[in-house]
Amino acid sequence: MPSARSRIDTPRLRLVAPEPGQAQAVADFYARNREHFSPWDPPRGPDDDEPEAIQRRLLGGAAAFDAGEAFRWWLTPADAPRRVIGSVSLSNLSRGPFQSANLGYALDAAAQGQGLMHEALQAVIAEAFAPAINLHRLQAGVRPENLRSLAVMARLGFADEGLARDYLYIAGAWRDHRLFALLNPAFIAPAHW
């Protein structure tokens, strides 16, 4: 079976799989965006932003990527490949009759409003639906107040499947999320089906 690409280039971005050398750039990304992400992200542990913890997560992420168990790409500007400005992830991969994954994404506050996340997500969706990963379904949860993210889902053609009440614990309370899904019209059924 082919493996997912560890580097994907788009016109303005370079998407790269986790590697230990990214620890400082990822730490800088989280430090710059701590306040920006706080309304949208689940609580983080007290040491989660320390370079050593990030290094461990990058090593785990690289192993999961190589094993085809989870995929994350860190976004860098094509002209500044050492500066992390976002990420896109495929987590909770389920094979068998489900062939699905959860889609997650984050973008630097200073990079908002330029269509960069749309560009990155188009590339990751193409990779997720290509033979290397070959998923049938991508799912994403978005807080109803996150208007930018709702617009991205609509622009990419994700179907709104409804409201999940008290879906994730974020910013001190259980928060509702709208659930979205995108199906792969070119899904290739495994030979043993």
pLDDT of residue 2: 59
Q: In what order do the strands lie in the sheet with 100-107?
A: 7-9, 13-16, 71-77, 86-94, 100-107, 137-142, 173-183, 159-170
Give the pLDDT confidence score for residue 95 in this predicted structure: 94
The Cα 108–Cα 85 span in angstroms is: 5
| Residue 1 pLDDT greater than 60, yes or no | no
Residue type, 91: S
- Over residues 88-97, the pLDDT tens digits come to 999 999 999 9
Return the pLDDT at 46. 78
Contact (CB, 8 A) for 68 and 3: yes
**Average pLDDT score over the chain:** 95
7-135: CATH topology is Aminopeptidase (3.40.630)
> Which DSSP string corresponds to 141-170?
EE-TT-HHHHHHHHHHT-EEEEEEEEEEEE
Q: Is 119 exposed, middle or buried (0-12, 13-18, 19+ CB in 10 A)?
A: middle
Global confidence as pTM: 0.94
Looking at residue 93, what is its pLDDT? 96
Q: Where are the domains of the chain?
A: 7-135
| 35-73 pLDDT tens trace | 999 888 888 887 888 888 999 999 999 999 999 999 999
Using the structure block, give the residue that is written with the tokens 């996340």: 117
